[in-house]
Amino acid sequence: MRAPTDLDTLTDFFDRYGVALTTGDVPAIAGCYALPGMVVADTYSFSFTSPAAVALSFVGAAPDYQERELVAAHATIEDVLPVSALLTMVAVEWEFLDSRGRAVPGERYRYLLRSTDDGPLICTVLRTA
């Protein structure tokens, strides 16, 4: 097993994650995370140690996506940096599509991914500028 650096593998992973985010599929979102996991932003940080905790942390995001009528998410992979044999840091810019077919600018994140037998999983999410 090696760090997830193949662009096809990473694109497939972020496509699946984006679908889970925009459809509010909280169990699928939780399935994209390694445990324990962490989210870090300028004004807050939180960690989770169970799939239920991951799900709970994203329950509030689903209504926001619905209110903004976001129906699709596309991750543009900007940078891939192997960190170790099993870890990779991936810089992503998200763009969303609303129900009227308009592009909605998203945000930038760095994801620390761990390679597993089942594919990459998110260990840490870092919101960036």
pLDDT for residue 125 is more than 90: yes
Give pLDDT, residue 1: 65
pLDDT for residue 27 is more than 70: yes
Question: What pLDDT, in 10s, does the model give residues 36-74?
Answer: 999 998 998 989 999 888 888 877 666 677 777 788 899
Give pLDDT, residue 72: 87
**Residue 112 pLDDT class (50, 70, 90 cuts):** very high
Q: Whose CA is closest to 123, among 38, 20, 3?
A: 38
CA distances for 19 relative to 45, 49, 97, angstroms: 24, 23, 11
Q: Whose CA is closest to 80, among 67, 65, 90?
A: 90
Give the separation between CA 89 and CA 54, rounded to whole angstroms. Answer: 20
**Residue 26 pLDDT class (50, 70, 90 cuts):** confident
- What value does the mean pLDDT take over residues 4-16? 91
Give pLDDT, residue 95: 93
Residue keyed to tokens 């543009």: 76
Give pLDDT, residue 24: 83
In the chain, pLDDT over 70 holds for what percent of residues? 94
- Tell me, what amino acid is at 55? A
Six token digits for residue 10: 């990473």
C-alpha dihedral (9, 13, 18, 21), degrees to nearest 10: 180
Q: Whose CA is closest to 128, among 44, 61, 42, 6?
A: 42
